[in-house]
């Protein structure tokens, strides 16, 4: 079983709609959860971090964490063409491996104008 | 200069060459990482340095040799690489405080082995 799993997509949404991205992880003791955005040919850019169950909102982005279900999601409201990118889910395993991040393969999002 | 800086941005090398990738972070972090990103694959962790000590190797081939002279600098020395080593090599840094905090990436070095 992969440590972090994401649907590869592509996920195509019309401009102004909500894009919903999902991520599951295998290590039940994982502590920290991150979403990165990566434009083609560029490096990953951190957009959200979440550490406790529930929702965390930052502008048009909302991260949702459910540790019991080992599930973390990212919602992008009012999607814009500039949101077209690959979104990477990253998870910190439980100690003693909590010094590293495990990444999913990423979900490619395309926002149609 | 701020953030995480990697040089060179692009590198083409033959299989018999020796080259080095450089990473410098200006964030005051105490942990640095090398990741490899190949097409259609997840980011692969290669090396982790925490407080300048190598914490993990992840069974990377010996043709890749890391060096961390201080908490702000990280190198990846390359020799006798194979074409399948062509990839985007990313450096990242973070502040380790019991639990890892956010990791920030450099712009990467696009490596092509010919």
Q: What is the residue-level pLDDT of chain A in tens, covering all 113 positions? A: 678 999 878 999 999 999 999 999 998 989 899 999 999 989 999 999 999 999 999 999 999 999 999 999 999 999 999 999 999 999 988 777 777 788 999 999 999 98
Using the beta-carbon criterion (under 8 Å), do B108 and A105 form an inter-chain contact? no
Q: How far apart are CA B108 and CA A98, in angstroms?
A: 24
3-state secondary structure chain B: CCCEEEECCEEEECCCCEEEEEEEECCCCCEEEEEEECCCCCCEEEEEEECCEEEECCCCCCCEEEEEEECCEEEEEEECCCHHHCEEEEEEEECEECEECCCEECCCEEEEEC
Q: What is the pLDDT of residue B97?
A: 64
pLDDT number for residue A3: 86
Measure in Å the smallest separation between the Cα of B81 and chain A Cα atoms: 22
Q: Mean pLDDT of all residues in chain B?
A: 90
Chosen from A35, A99, A103, A106 to mutate, greatest number of chain B CBs within 10 A: A99
- B10/A contact by beta carbon, under 8 A: no
Least Cα distance to B99 among A50, A46, A31, A36 occurs for: A31
Give the integer Cα–Cα distance in Å for A101 and B18. 29
Beta-bridge partners for A73: A22, A64
Measured between beta carbons, the chain B residues lying within 8 angstroms of A2 are 42
Nearest CA in chain A to B51: A99
Distance from C-alpha of A24 to C-alpha of A22, rounded to nearest angstrom: 7
Query: Is the model's pLDDT at B32 over the cut of 80?
Result: yes
The Cα–Cα gap between A54 and A7 comes to 22
Distance of CA B109 to the CA centre of its chain: 9
Please name the member of A34, A99, A105 whose beta carbon is closest to the beta carbon of B42.
A105
For B4, name the nearest residue in chain A, comparing CA atoms only: A43
Give the number of A-B residue pairs with CB atoms closer than 8 Å: 58
Bridging pattern class, strands B96-97 and B99-100: antiparallel
Smallest CA-to-CA distance from A5 within A19, A30, A16 is with A30
Interchain proximity B100–A106, CB inside 8 Å: no
Strand order in the sheet with B73-79: B4-7, B18-25, B73-79, B64-70
Residue A56 sits at the chain B interface (C-beta within 8 Å): no
Q: Does B39 touch chain A (CB under 8 A)?
A: no
* Span B52-74, pLDDT tens digits: 777 777 789 999 999 999 999 99
Contact criterion met (CB < 8 Å) for A101 and B45: yes
């Amino acid at each position: 079983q992969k440590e972090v799993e994401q649907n590869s997509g592509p996920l195509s949404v019309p401009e102004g709609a909500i894009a919903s991205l999902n991520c599951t992880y295998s290590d039940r003791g994982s502590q920290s959860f991150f979403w990165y955005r990566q434009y083609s040919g560029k490096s990953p850019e951190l957009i959200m971090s979440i550490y406790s169950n529930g929702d965390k909102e930052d502008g048009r982005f909302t991260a949702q964490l459910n540790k019991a279900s080992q599930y973390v999601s990212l919602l992008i409201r009012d999607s814009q063409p500039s949101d077209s990118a690959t979104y990477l889910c990253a998870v910190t395993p439980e100690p003693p491996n909590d010094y590293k991040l495990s990444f999913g393969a990423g979900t490619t999002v395309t926002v149609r104008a | 200069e701020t953030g995480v800086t990697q040089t060179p941005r692009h590198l083409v090398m033959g299989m018999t060459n020796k080259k080095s990738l450089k990473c410098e972070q200006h964030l005051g972090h105490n942990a640095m990482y090398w990741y490899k990103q190949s097409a259609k694959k997840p980011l692969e962790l290669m090396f982790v340095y925490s407080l300048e000590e190598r914490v993990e190797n992840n069974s990377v081939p010996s043709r890749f040799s890391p060096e961390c002279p201080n908490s702000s600098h990280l190198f990846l020395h390359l020799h006798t690489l194979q074409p399948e080593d062509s990839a985007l090599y990313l450096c990242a840094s973070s502040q380790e405080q019991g639990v890892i905090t956010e990791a920030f990436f450099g712009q990467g070095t696009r490596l092509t082995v010919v």
